[in-house]
Amino acid sequence: MTSITDQKGFAERAFANFGQASDLKKRLWFTLGALIVYRIGTYIPLPGIDPVALKQLFDQQQGGILGMFNMFSGGALSRMTVFALNILPYISASIIMQLLAASVPSLEQLKKEGEAGRRKIIQYTRYGTVILASLQGYGIAVGLESSGGVVLEAGVAFRISTVVSIVGGTMFLMWLGEQITQRGVGNGISLIIFSGIVANLPIALAGTLELGRTGALSTAFLLILAVMIVVVITVIVFVERAQRRLLVHYPKRQRGARMHGGEATHLPLKLNTSGVIPPIFASSILLMPLTFASLNVGDEQGGVLAVVAASLGRGQPLFLILYSSLILFFAFFYTAIVFNPKDTAENLRKQGGIIQGIRPGAHTADYLDFVLTRLTTVGALYLVSVSLLPEILISRFAVPFYFGGTSLLIVVSVTMDTVAQIQGHLMSYRYESLMRRSGFHRLGR
C-alpha cells in the first residue's frame, strides 16, 4: 500500500514539475511541430508522375526490400514524394564517414581536435549526403521512366526535377533532425524514422484485422502474432535496460584537515551499447544500392538487377544473411566508437579509481575490453534475433512490415530514450528549483 502511495506521489510531483517547466514545454511543442512538418512533407508529390500507375507499380514491388524502405520513409516512397528517401542518405553518409574516420589518419586526427574537428566531419557528412541523395534520386528517376506509364513526360527535365526535389527534401530533413536534437527533445534523426513508422501503424493494424475478417489470416495466427509482438516488446525493454555494473573503488585522500574519497561507485556498461543504430545502419546499407534495382521493373529479361532485387525479398536467404551480418558488424563497430576502453581506463587512473582485483592502466583497459566484447556479443545476437525471427515468421504471411522486429525495436527504443530525456529535463528543473529555494531561504535568514 505504501509503494502505491509513493508512486502516486511521485507521479503527482512529476506532473506538477512538468506544468512549471516552461523550457521543457517549449521543447516538446517544437518537437511536435517539427514532426508535423515532416508528415506534411511526406504528402508533397514529385512533379510529372501519374499517381494511379505509381500505385500499381508499388503494389507489384512492395513485397521485398522496397516495402521496408517505404516503412522507414513513413509511406513517402509509395507516394513518391519529396521525402521519398527520408533521412537514409544522411545515415549512409554518416556510416561512411565513421568508417573513414577509423581508417584514414587525417580524419582520425580531426576527431581529436575537439569541437572544430567535429564540425568539419559533420560538414563532410553533409557533402556526402548530397552526393548519395543525388545518385539515389537519379536512380529513382531512371527506374520510374523504365517502368512504363508512371512518368507523364520522360526526359532530362524530369530527371533534373526529380533529383533536385529529392535532394532538397533529404537536406531539409537532415536540417530538421538537427534542429529537433538541439531545440527539441530526443534524437531528431531517430524521431523522424519513429514518427514515420508510428504514423502508419493504425493503417497496418486495420489492414491486418481486415485480413482476419475475410479469412486470409486465421484467428489463431492473429493471436500468435499478438503474443509475439508482446514478447518482442518485453524482451526489448528488458535488454535495453540491462547493465553490467563494475565496482570502482576510490582511495581516501587528505585535503587540508579533511579526508575525501574512500567511496565506491559503479561503472555501468549496457548490454546493448549500440542501441537501435545497427538495424538502421544495416537497412540503410541494403537499401542504398537497390533503389534503382527495386524500381526497374522494365528489366524483364532476368538481368542482374532483377535477380538481386528478387534475392533480397522478404524472408529470402540472401536478405537474412546480409541483414544479420551487417547488424553484427555495426553492433561491434558502433560500440567501439562510443566506448573506448583505453580512454576510460586512463580517466579512472587519473581519478584514482580502481576496479577490484584489476591493476590500473593497461590491465584495466584490457579487462574493460574483455567485458565489453562479451556484452556486445550478447547484445548483437539479441539484435539479430529481434530483427530476424519476426521477419522469418511474417514473411510467410501477408502481415505488414510495421509488426516486424526492426520496426518494434525502433519504436520501443526511441520511446524509451525520449522518455528518459524528458525525465532528465524534469529532474534538472526540480534540482534548479530546489537550489533557488535554498538560496532564497539563506538570503532570508
For residues 60 and 175, the model is more confident at 175
Mention every residue, 6+ apart, whose C-beta is less than 8 A from residue 326.
Answer: 278, 281, 282, 285, 286
pLDDT digits (tens, 9 = 90+) for 284-301: 777 765 655 555 544 444
Q: What is the C-alpha separation between 388 and 223, in angstroms, rounded?
A: 20
pLDDT at 283 over 60: yes
pLDDT at 234 over 60: yes
Q: Using the structure block, give the residue that is written with the C-alpha cell 575490453.
A: 369
Kind of pairing between the strands at 243-249 and 264-270 = antiparallel
pLDDT at 147 over 90: no
Per-residue pLDDT, 297: 46
Per-residue pLDDT, 445: 44
**The three cell numbers locating residue 312:** 533480397
Q: pLDDT band at 7, cuts 50/70/90?
A: very low
Q: CATH homologous superfamily for 20-183+197-444?
A: SecY subunit domain (1.10.3370.10)
Q: What is the C-alpha separation between 275 and 331, in angstroms, rounded?
A: 8
Domain boundaries, the chain: 20-183+197-444
Q: Using the structure block, give the residue that is written with the C-alpha cell 536534437.
A: 181
Query: Can you give the three-state secondary structure of 309-324, one letter per residue?
Result: HHHCCCCCHHHHHHHH
Closest CA to 398 of 67, 172, 88: 67
Per-chain mean pLDDT for the chain = 79
**Cβ–Cβ under 8 Å, residues 95 and 284:** yes
Mention every residue, 6+ apart, whose C-beta is less than 8 A from residue 211.
Answer: 217, 398, 399
Q: What is the C-alpha separation between 355 and 352, in angstroms, rounded?
A: 10
Q: pLDDT band at 256, cuts 50/70/90?
A: low
Taking residues 295-324, report their average pLDDT: 65
Taking residues 105-122, report their average pLDDT: 80
Per-residue pLDDT, 1: 43
CA triple 180-118-28, angle to 5 deg: 10
Q: What is the C-alpha separation between 189 and 276, in angstroms, rounded?
A: 12
- What percent of the chain is modeled with pLDDT above 70? 78
Per-residue pLDDT, 255: 61
For residues 44 and 204, the model is more confident at 44
DSSP string, 349-363: HHHT-EETT--TTHH
Per-residue pLDDT, 112: 74
Measured between its terminal Cα atoms, the distance across the chain in Å is 39
**Cβ–Cβ under 8 Å, residues 76 and 84:** yes
For residues 416 and 67, the model is more confident at 416
For residue 228, the Cα-to-chain-centroid distance in whole angstroms is 22
pLDDT at 443 over 70: no
Per-residue pLDDT, 39: 92
Taking residues 118-127, report their average pLDDT: 88
pLDDT at 441 over 90: no
For residues 406 and 194, the model is more confident at 194
pLDDT digits (tens, 9 = 90+) for 369-418: 999 999 999 999 999 988 887 667 666 665 655 566 778 888 888 888 88
The sign of the dihedral angle between the CA atoms of 389, 395, 397, 403 is positive
Q: Within 13 A of 348's CA, how many CA atoms are on the CB side?
A: 29
Q: What is the C-alpha separation between 311 and 62, in angstroms, rounded?
A: 14
pLDDT digits (tens, 9 = 90+) for 339-353: 888 888 888 888 778
Query: What is the identity of the amino acid at 326?
Result: L
